Structure 1
């Protein structure tokens, strides 16, 4: 009695689905897969670099800036001190402007 590997089992099921026409009737048949990770939207010349960073667990600086903005907004919601709230709003605005400028530069020049 031979035991099939997981890959062999998957291949067998895919072959069966293809023979039965199940795959071809799927709405996404023949279309590129969208994994929701932004790969298709990333300019081709930046994909490899971003993939290397992602695989290494490093996120682009803009992502870190978005995280900082979210944390500052959460702090702002809970502060009762008006001076602190003003300082938080100013820092949020500065970070939002910095992100916007970096993203605009990236969109126009394809580099940061």
Structure 2
């Protein structure tokens, strides 16, 4: 197994080779500052890399999936007759999921 120091050297050598061959200059945005949106700064530093990996893999964090589900539940709730038993059951689902999202977001903010 390679040590982190050896791995760093392999990565540095690979970057140098790519730079010398001109391969890096072909990348869109080469030599320009990164354009980071406000969500980058709002994301806790320890979650940036895991979220980037998920994004590159075409996946989204669990919180995003929960928010999508909440939007669907709210749309379904809007279609139901107010105060009917079905509406009340759906309202409880909406409230529970909204609470779960809030708790999860608070855990993320507090580093838990």
Counterpart position of 1:67: 68
CA distance in 2, matches of 1:34, 1:46: 15
Counterpart position of 2:89: 87
**Aligned to 1:40, what secondary structure does the other structure show?**
helix
Give the total of aligned pairs.
83
CA distance in 1, matches of 2:46, 2:77: 38
**Aligned to 2:37, what secondary structure does the other structure show?**
coil
CA distance in 2, matches of 1:84, 1:45: 42
TM-score under structure 1 normalisation?
0.64
Structure 2 gaps, min length 5: 1-25
Structure 1 gaps, min length 5: 1-6, 15-29
CA distance in 2, matches of 1:65, 1:45: 21
Counterpart position of 2:37: 35
CA-atom RMSD in angstroms: 2.5
Counterpart position of 2:105: 103
Q: Tell me the CA shift for residue 79 of structure 1.
A: 1.3
**Aligned to 2:93, what secondary structure does the other structure show?**
helix
Structure 1 stretches of 4+ with a deviation exceeding 4 A read none
Counterpart position of 1:48: 49
Deviations 1:5-27 (A, max 9, x none): xx6xx99xx9xxxxxxxxxxxxx
Which has the larger helix fraction? 2
Deviations 1:44-100 (A, max 9, x none): 121111100011111111111111111011111111271110011000000011011
